[in-house]
Structure 1
Amino acid sequence: MGSTSFPAGWGAEFVAEDVVRFRLWATGQQTVTLRVSGEDLAMNPIGEGWFEREVTGVCAGDEYSFVLADGMTVPDPASRAQKEDVNGPSRVVDHRSYRWQHSDWKGRPWEESVVYEMHIGTFTPEGTFRAAIEKLPYLAELGVTMLEVLPVSQFGGNRGWGYDGVLLYAPHAAYGTPDDFKAFIDAAHGHGLSVVLDIVLNHFGPEGNYLPLLAPDFFHKERHTPWGAGIAYDVDAARRYIADAPLYWLKEYHLDGLRFDAIDQIEDTSDKHVLIEIAERIRAEIVDRPAHLTTEDSRNVIFLHPRNEDGSAPLFTGEWNDDFHNAVHVFATGETQAYYQDFAHQPEKMVARTLAEGFAYQGETSVQSGEARGVKSTGQPPTAFVDFIQNHDQVGNRAQGERLISLAGAERTRVLLAALLLSPHIPLLFMGEEYGETNPFLFFTDFHGDLAKAVREGRAKEFEGHGDFEGESVPDPNDVQTFTRSKLNWHTPESDQGAEWLAFTRHLLTQRARHIVPLLTTAGGNSGRIVATAPGFVAVSWRFPRGTLSMAFNIGPASQPLPALPGETLFASSDVGDALPQNAIIVRLAQGDAA
């Protein structure tokens, strides 16, 4: 897995030892000047809006910008690194120079995945790639197998979630250099941890996006997303920028996969959808290790997640299962505002259906939208669904950023954590969840002037008239304290209560690796069934070629009769007889052929 030479496209690339080719698509400009290391060089128009210039004597780290005819200076939209912020000069990066310490890493199979979602800026006090390396032994010992890093593409300001990136090829400078990010991934591989990156291909952020000025054709004139102008995926140069980015991150940074954000907002009228093209290219070009590709999609679709006869995924590997989270949230908290109203009626049945079949909505009409949502998902293997009881979105999009433990209480949350980690779906933990973190995760940005005012007022307005949040003072996203309050408290896992939570999570993950993962290597579709439900109570089972897994849990006010669950007890949170007490869970496994 040595350094690769990426195909010619956007940006600055070494084509010889000290020769760099600079390429830019700028249909909105008649002339473009390259300013590199203080020298101005006219770029050569090569047709169809492309400008190019090869320069000898360029070194890694050299600064460069593009100067427009009116004198305005802008960074490279395909910058591989920024000197500092998103508006300043770009830096030349030589990917050949990093010496990988674990170049023999071959990845981990998907069924072993226990995902740990982390935001680099709040994961450690320092908020850098290098600081995060120090926590890798802790995560490996815990039983996590995959780190999912929130977007790191350069965005406006120093602080943010990362979903407003504008330079999609450049690691955020406040987190560190490209080599720092490589060192983080390299070290993770050394500890047996896969690393996947969350990427955003559906829009650009509000600060530092010069593409409308450089190339207006990059955006569709009529199509819009909730965050701005829609990208013209059917325009060749725009499509190349978008489709090359995932391969770039996978190849140059040796990542083990990608999570594609809000793909329902990627509207493409081309003969082949850009997402299918991306997945096919990744499968064809990444052959030395598994490439785990997951999607976030509110439509509840399965056409992007087919399986070959051998169980392998020819396109995308799995999908974030928001239905599971939403059903569990209503089940545990009773909140029914906004999109939670879709799960307000008998939430225990919704929870049971998501565990047994995948989606809660498989074509039924959404209460919130009044429209049908989803398709039948029973034929999908359980490993096609990435489940979570909390994540950055669901916590951070609350007015006060409360975690589930603060809303549902510790006892209920422990039961739901056990259900998450011992189900045959792929589990995802949000950073700090493993030790019962109570610090909030708030929505934070680092904008200034009119943009800061607009974001602050927009955030406050979002919760106006919102029953559960009406009258609350919404934290100012641009206040640095909003950011610092969102950092993990690493003293908590050292406390008695935190250590107890940590031991609980570790035990669950040990049981998962020992008993559940072996079932998943041959797990197919149509495996789950609902055994029983009652208010606060769920019982489900899954039949696999290697055995039957059953689970029952109760967070209701009274004990519930325990239905017949075959096999030996794999885990029980308390003594269980003929009834399951309040805030308890039992999981059983019957070994052998269940066909």
Structure 2
Amino acid sequence: MNDLHTEATTSSYACVYGAQMLEDGSTRFRILAPRANHVALIIGERTLPMERDGDGNYTLIANAKPGARYTYRIDDRLVPDPASRAQPDGVLGASMVVDAEAHDWLSNDWRGAPWRTAIICEVHVGLMGGFAALRKALPRLAAAGYTVIELMPIASFQGARNWGYDGVLPYAPDASYGDITSLKSMIDEAHRLGLAVILDVVYNHFGPVGNELPRYAPEFFRTDISTPWGAAIDFRRAQVAQYFIDNALMWLNEYRFDGLRLDAVHAIQPASFLKELGDAIRNACRPSGRYVWLILENEHNTASLLRDDYDAQWNDDGHNVLHVALTGEHEGYYADFAKHTTEQLATFLADGFIFQGQQDRRGTHRGEPSGDLSPTSFVLFLQNHDQIGNRPFGERLIQLTDEANLRAAMVIVALSPMIPLFFMGEEWGCRTPFYFFTDYEGALADAVREGRRAEFAHFSGFTDPVRRKKIPDPNALDTYTRSIPHADDDERTREWSRWFSDLLQCRKQLLVHRLEGTRSLGCEVLDDKAVYARWRLKDQHDWEIALNLSDRDVPLPRDPATKVVWIESQDAMDALDRGVLQARTAIVLVREVTGDRLLA
């Protein structure tokens, strides 16, 4: 769909659940607890019985100032608020009343930008040092050429460190990253610098520690289906759907995030909830001058969602085939991309998705036709938290493939008409690993550690239990600290940074403003791992990319009607003049179809 234009707001969104401050200074508390016999609010020295309605909601209006700590006593058990806005002492501690309107915003004229302008850097807030440290890093990220910062999930989790996908209180930013003011100040500063900020949200499951909902609201979950993380959330229930819709609107309105990336929506059933969520966001955020983006992660490749409420989907197919072409890896899901790699390279560049209804390696029909979609409906990447962190030793691509080939593939990410995403540190050629990490104790820590190692038991090199024991323990502090991105102060780092910045500047100057209405003209196979893709831009110029990820040169007759936009070296230019596409090279060209000149 086109970008959502919504009206900027300085008022908080009136969520159904949680502690909501009212205009008269009092606070309304509400929790869904249909299986409870008695619910009371514990605030300070007071124990206040709450009133039940016919839907299993318990509500109470009480005098409670910002900063007040509270819990709910459900029968004989004390629990935090599942819609808590702040958990200063972690997910097992008391919740805190928050004044959602207390922050003095400075960038009130910020309205965002069209989706086609997005150049995304995905970051883990903890590894960046927290909200305040990330704020200080924003000028560097803007100077690198990024226009969007995407935060991995920040919802409160158990322990001092976590990937973020084990959040259990989705309304409360985790206290280990900083307080609410520091988060809002970071977003405010990003907007001042012209950077949009989007948030990764997890609506498909809760983490394993601190989720009390099954005890007093088992109706929140389904008994007939499960997910890889446990019982599925029951989005058929209006109260459950509202809980997550309110959460999305809170992030967009109260924190002024510019968009949301929804994690693993293929685990959300029924899928009609995604339509409900998209419609609710559009209806609640009245059309005006602000841009709000909605992005999906979806193994089902549901192209129809991208024609309506959602701007784009992470293109795992594109990543997977590029990864196979770069590394030769063929185990696990990479097996789907190992036999017809070159043809699949051409398919993803032409159509976005590779799987558009075909059977995958498990015999499952996956995907919908996507060739009619705009290239900007796909977020393309070579690395992200999953693709690095889900490796046994968290290696980045720079350690797995030839550097020339890696640069050629990065040209595809940066200069194809798809929306580019890079993982923190790619802008300087980071070699620091990114591990999977948690902070659990006891039996759960043992289960996570051994479960992690068992995942790789059938992969070559890990069938030996001794070898598997070398996989880092997710709970070890060292696993976390070794994942903090580190840039060497040397010429290699400086040269890579200059190259990367030039790449993004090329996109900004020559491509971004021509992307609206762009359509694919197809992609031809030149040779093994060598393809030639073409797109018709808004102004009717043809944008063309020739990619050769093989170790040999291939014929490429030079069309005199094209002009070179990006080429890696003079040697590659000389080869092109001879009608040859050099090995391990990507070349970007433009065909000036009209009389207007794209290049000076």
Match of 2:478 in 1: 481
Counterpart of 2:436 in structure 1: which amino acid? F
Counterpart of 1:39 in structure 2: which amino acid? R
Cα distance in 2 between the residues matched to 1:502 and 1:17: 53
Cα distance, 1:371–1:170 mapped onto 2, change above 3 Å: same
Cα distance in 2 between the residues matched to 1:564 and 1:39: 80
Structure 1 position 506 matched with structure 2 position 511: no
Structure 1 position 408 matched with structure 2 position 409: no
Counterpart of 1:69 in structure 2: which amino acid? D
Match of 1:13 in 2: 20
Match of 1:549 in 2: 543
Deviations 1:388-425 (A, max 9, x none): 01110011000000011100132221111111101010
Match of 2:67 in 1: 61
Deviations 1:114-148 (A, max 9, x none): 0111110112xxx2100101111111111111111
Contact 1:352/1:533 (8 A) holds in 2:
no
Structure 1 position 79 matched with structure 2 position 74: no
Deviations 1:3-43 (A, max 9, x none): 32423411000013420000011012111111112321111
Structure 1 position 142 matched with structure 2 position 137: no
Cα distance in 1 between the residues matched to 2:586 and 2:283: 43
Match of 2:122 in 1: 117
Structure 1 position 305 matched with structure 2 position 298: no
Contact 2:396/2:434 (8 A) holds in 1:
yes
Match of 2:585 in 1: 584
Contact 2:516/2:538 (8 A) holds in 1:
no
- Find the residue that maps to 2:89 and give its secondary structure: coil
Match of 2:183 in 1: 181
Identity %: 39
Q: For this pair of structures, how many residues does the alignment match?
A: 574
Contact 1:337/1:468 (8 A) holds in 2:
no
Cα distance in 1 between the residues matched to 2:495 and 2:24: 55
Cα distance, 1:62–1:134 mapped onto 2, change above 3 Å: same
Match among 230, 238, 250 for residue 240 of structure 2: 238
Uncovered stretches (5+) of structure 1, i.e. residues with no partner = 307-313
Structure 1 position 101 matched with structure 2 position 80: no
Contact 1:545/1:593 (8 A) holds in 2:
no
Cα distance in 1 between the residues matched to 2:281 and 2:461: 44
- Find the residue that maps to 1:550 and give its secondary structure: strand
Structure 1 position 361 matched with structure 2 position 362: no
Cα distance in 1 between the residues matched to 2:328 and 2:344: 13
Cα distance in 2 between the residues matched to 1:487 and 1:85: 23
Structure 1 position 447 matched with structure 2 position 440: yes
Cα distance in 2 between the residues matched to 1:469 and 1:136: 40
- Find the residue that maps to 1:481 and give its secondary structure: helix
Counterpart of 1:393 in structure 2: which amino acid? D
Cα distance in 2 between the residues matched to 1:416 and 1:43: 59
Matches within 5 A, 1:2-41: 2-41=9-48
Match of 2:172 in 1: 170
Cα distance in 2 between the residues matched to 1:84 and 1:414: 45
Match of 1:385 in 2: 378
Contact 2:15/2:246 (8 A) holds in 1:
no
- TM-score when normalising by structure 2: 0.93
Match of 1:569 in 2: 564
- Find the residue that maps to 1:174 and give its secondary structure: helix
- Find the residue that maps to 2:511 and give its secondary structure: helix
Contact 2:131/2:177 (8 A) holds in 1:
yes
Cα distance in 1 between the residues matched to 2:295 and 2:67: 33
Counterpart of 2:419 in structure 1: which amino acid? I
Contact 1:115/1:146 (8 A) holds in 2:
yes
Cα distance in 2 between the residues matched to 1:5 and 1:429: 32
Larger RCO, structure (CA 8 Å, separation 6 or more): 2
- TM-score when normalising by structure 1: 0.94
Match among 313, 320, 335 for residue 341 of structure 1: 335
Match among 378, 382, 392 for residue 399 of structure 1: 392
Contact 1:399/1:469 (8 A) holds in 2:
no
Shift of 1:234: 1.2
Shift of 1:372: 1.9
Match among 253, 256, 261 for residue 254 of structure 1: 256
Deviations 1:452-511 (A, max 9, x none): 11101100111112114443421100001111111111x32x321111111111001111
Uncovered stretches (5+) of structure 2, i.e. residues with no partner = 1-7, 596-600
Match among 91, 94, 107 for residue 89 of structure 1: 94
Cα distance, 1:44–1:416 mapped onto 2, change above 3 Å: same
Cα distance in 1 between the residues matched to 2:218 and 2:35: 6
Cα distance in 2 between the residues matched to 1:222 and 1:195: 37
Cα distance, 1:361–1:84 mapped onto 2, change above 3 Å: same
Counterpart of 2:320 in structure 1: which amino acid? N
Contact 1:3/1:95 (8 A) holds in 2:
no
Cα distance, 1:469–1:403 mapped onto 2, change above 3 Å: farther
Structure 1 position 44 matched with structure 2 position 75: no
